[in-house]
């Protein structure tokens, strides 16, 4: 009997496990879920046939080797730094592998070994990266096949709270790893616009914004997302004058978040010893110039050059950074201390639903005309278990794992879903789960200036 081994049973694993267990029941194979907590793995299996839960420590080399050796496909939902441990074993035992994470340099270096082993290591099979690749490449290939010349590609994704549950001044709640939200943008960003290379350091990340309308969901603002330049080669757009990837937030979020960045509250490179009974007001004050008479609020407003009664200051106040509430940890980085506060304010409440918003904007010329294509997708979660994040991360990886198990792909080595044999069937199946794109296109005639 065939065997799929899933490494990790965290929040994003639920939909993937459900999909594979349902398919395993129909097609008679076993799904083994391994996690540090066997209880969590058992909870995800829920006693269903064809499922097995095991306690698994991926740093236990002997145990990891044994479990992978017995498997036909490994799906790693581990933190990204642990994928390589599994990848090496997959190459050793000629076992196919699927992950939802970015390809690391270490895994990229296994490409030739994976090809020699005759296996596929299907990476970046989540939402971003994942669905963004697949939906973008479908558009790009369609345009290129009809002779269009692409001059601009922009792509945006955001994990947000659904509109009817948006009930705080920030328009935001945590829908994925909270710490990743706090330290987002640390690496800076680079992209190209109209042939000019642009580099944005962290301290300017939330000031260089674009605003776009998505279907009937209104306007969203986007800040730059890491290294857009690397996507020129990945997408076959090496000579494109403009390529930009960004992260969506509700309008108004970034200006207020930038104030936390400028204050230093999102720093994660050094630790602070927290005195006993330190309040969040005290914590905030440690980042401000000394002044005997000004309030903490006034010092923040003066330092940042904003009105003390501004909308942004009201957002900071609502967040609690001026509160007399005691900091609940004795040591931590500023980002970790801030996170404790954010989790109280931004966690999804009972009954809340989340939302994934994705949009691609492509400009191209064809037959003497300029075309502008807008392709948009909005996915709303079912509940707090089957969130839109869990669906859009878990389903592509699950569908990919099923297809790998059934030998549907000819490609070998380290692969991302930018090729037709991968993205075409997966995008088609995702439609049945409500994950579909709406395309809008405008066409303009070129006009000459006549004096």
Nearest partner of 25 among 56, 46, 41, judged by Cα: 46
Q: What pLDDT was estimated at residue 450?
A: 41
What mean pLDDT value characterizes the chain? 96
Q: Is 77 helix (H, G, I), strand (E, B) or coil?
A: coil
Contact call for residues 347 and 340 (beta carbons, < 8 A): no
Element (H, E) at 433: none
pTM, rounded to two decimals: 0.94
Query: Would the CA dihedral through 233, 238, 240, 242 be positive or negative?
Result: positive
CATH superfamily of 3-123: NAD(P)-binding Rossmann-like Domain (3.40.50.720)
DSSP string, 189-221: EEEEETTEEEEE-GGGTTTS-EEEE-TTS-EEE
For the chain, the 3-state helix, strand and coil shares in percent, each to the nearest 5, are 35, 25, 35
Alpha carbon distance 285, 306 (integer Å): 17
Alpha carbon distance 126, 234 (integer Å): 16
Q: What pLDDT was estimated at residue 384?
A: 87
Domain residue ranges of the chain, discontinuous segments joined by +: 3-123
Residue 382: left if φ>0, alpha if ψ -120 to 50, beta else—which one? alpha
Alpha carbon distance 417, 373 (integer Å): 21
* Residue 16: half-sphere exposure toward Cβ, Cα within 13 Å: 35
Nearest partner of 125 among 177, 178, 81, 75, judged by Cα: 75
Q: What pLDDT was estimated at residue 446?
A: 67
Average pLDDT per 10 consecutive residues for the chain, totaling 451 residues = 96 94 97 97 96 97 97 95 97 98 96 98 96 98 97 98 96 92 96 97 97 97 96 96 98 98 97 95 97 96 97 98 96 97 94 97 96 98 92 97 98 98 98 97 73 42
State what percent of residues in the chain have pLDDT above 90. 96
Q: Measure Cα distances from 211 to 7, 196, 309 in Å.
A: 38, 21, 25
Instruction: Give per-residue pLDDT as tens, 231-254.
Output: 999 999 999 999 999 999 999 999
């Amino acid at each position: 009997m065939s065997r799929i081994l899933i490494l990790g049973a965290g929040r994003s694993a639920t939909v993937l496990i459900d999909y594979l267990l349902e398919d395993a029941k129909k097609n008679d194979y076993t799904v083994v879920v391994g996690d540090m907590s066997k209880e969590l793995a058992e909870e995800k299996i829920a006693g269903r046939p064809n499922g097995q839960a095991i306690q698994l420590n991926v740093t236990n080399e002997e145990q990891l080797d044994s479990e992978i050796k017995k498997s036909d496909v490994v799906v790693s939902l581990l933190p990204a730094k642990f994928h390589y441990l599994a990848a090496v074993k997959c190459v050793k035992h000629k076992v196919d592998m699927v992950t939802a994470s970015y390809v690391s340099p270490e895994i990229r270096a296994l490409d030739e070994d994976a090809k020699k082993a005759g296996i596929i290591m299907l990476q970046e099979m989540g939402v971003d990266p994942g669905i963004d690749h697949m939906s973008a490449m479908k558009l790009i290939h369609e345009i290129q096949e009809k002779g269009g010349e692409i001059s601009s590609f922009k792509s945006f994704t955001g994990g947000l709270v659904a509109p009817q549950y948006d009930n705080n001044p920030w328009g935001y709640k945590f829908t994925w790893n909270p710490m990743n939200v706090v330290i987002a943008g640390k690496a800076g960003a680079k992209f190209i616009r109209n042939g000019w290379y642009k580099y944005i350091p962290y301290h300017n990340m939330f000031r260089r914004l674009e605003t776009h309308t998505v279907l009937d969901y209104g306007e969203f603002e986007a800040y730059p997302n890491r290294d857009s330049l690397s996507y020129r080669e990945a997408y076959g757009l090496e000579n494109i004058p403009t390529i930009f990837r960004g992260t969506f937030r509700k309008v108004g979020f970034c200006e207020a978040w930038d104030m936390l960045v400028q204050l230093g509250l999102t720093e994660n490179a050094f630790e602070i010893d927290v005195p006993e009974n330190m309040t969040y007001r005290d914590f905030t004050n440690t980042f401000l110039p000394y002044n005997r008479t000004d309030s903490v609020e006034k010092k923040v407003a003066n330092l940042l050059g904003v009105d003390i009664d501004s909308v942004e200051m009201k957002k900071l106040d609502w967040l609690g950074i001026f509160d007399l509430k005691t900091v609940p940890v004795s040591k931590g980085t500023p980002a970790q201390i801030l996170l404790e506060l954010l989790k109280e304010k931004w966690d999804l409440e009972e009954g809340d639903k989340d939302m994934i918003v994705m949009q691609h904007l492509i400009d191209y010329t064809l037959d003497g005309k300029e075309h502008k294509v807008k392709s948009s997708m909005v996915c709303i979660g079912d509940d707090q278990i089957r969130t839109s994040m869990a669906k859009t991360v878990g389903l592509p990886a699950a569908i990919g794992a099923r297809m790998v198990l059934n030998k549907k792909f000819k490609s070998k080595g380290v692969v991302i879903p930018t090729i037709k044999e991968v993205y075409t069937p997966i995008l088609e199946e995702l439609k049945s789960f409500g994950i579909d794109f709406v395309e809008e296109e405008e066409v303009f005639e070129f006009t000459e200036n006549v004096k």
